[in-house]
Amino acid sequence: MAQLFFKYGAMNSGKSIEILKVANNYEEQNKSVLIFTSGIDTRDEVGYVSSRIGLRRKAIPIFEGTNILQYVKDQEPTPHCVLIDEVQFLNKEHVLQLAEIVDTFDIPVMGFGLKNDFQNELFEGSRYMLIYADKIEEMKTICWFCARKATMNLRVDGSGKPVYTGDQIQIGGNDSYYPVCRRCHSNPPL
């Protein structure tokens, strides 16, 4: 029986590389996958899943009005699995479509993304994945500054100073965010 999975972690926890690995595992068994990613992530072109270790793969970009359910329904043959990167940037309707893909078509859907933003507020997509997912798994990494588990994302400005206010969404990598523990988020040793 298919399930909706939410695999979340702080920055640098290996979410994108995990998607590429899962896709490869399915395809080695001649099982098709559909890979989606947020259309607002422009770090490595729109419509690509890219890992920090240099692997990348074309994906279907999701924008505000994208109907993921209809896209999956229109596929021939039916995919064996649907993978979503940057799931935190989805809206409630997108997440409900993912749940319907699982419930109606018995296709497993795995969403990977951040749980909380730099102010430790839930992203919309993450909030609804936490509500609707059948399985929730934390992908772990270590704090940028100490040996504790990173559970938060610290936004920094161009000079490396912490930023605690601003827009929820600012696309960036190690130049803009560090994975940190709770203590280092409040008091980073910068």
Residue positions forming the annotated binding site for Zn(2+): 143, 146, 181, 184
Q: Please enumerate, by residue number, every residue annotated as part of a binding site.
A: 9-16, 85-88, 143, 146, 169-172, 177, 181, 184
What residues form DSSP beta bridges with 36?
Answer: 60, 84
CA 4 → CA 28, 54, 109, distances in Å?
A: 22, 28, 5
* DSSP alpha helix (H) spans, 40-159: 68-73, 92-105, 124-132
CA 103 → CA 4, 147, 151, distances in Å?
A: 9, 41, 31
Q: How far apart are CA 141 and CA 85, in angstroms?
A: 18
Whether 137 is catalytic = no
Beta strand 56-58 with 48-50 is antiparallel
- Which one is catalytic: 18, 27, 86, 100? 86
At 164, is the secondary structure helix, strand, or coil?
Answer: coil
Query: Nearest CA to 52 among 24, 85, 78, 83?
Result: 85
Structure-token pair, residue 88:
């935190």
Give the catalytic positions in this structure.
86
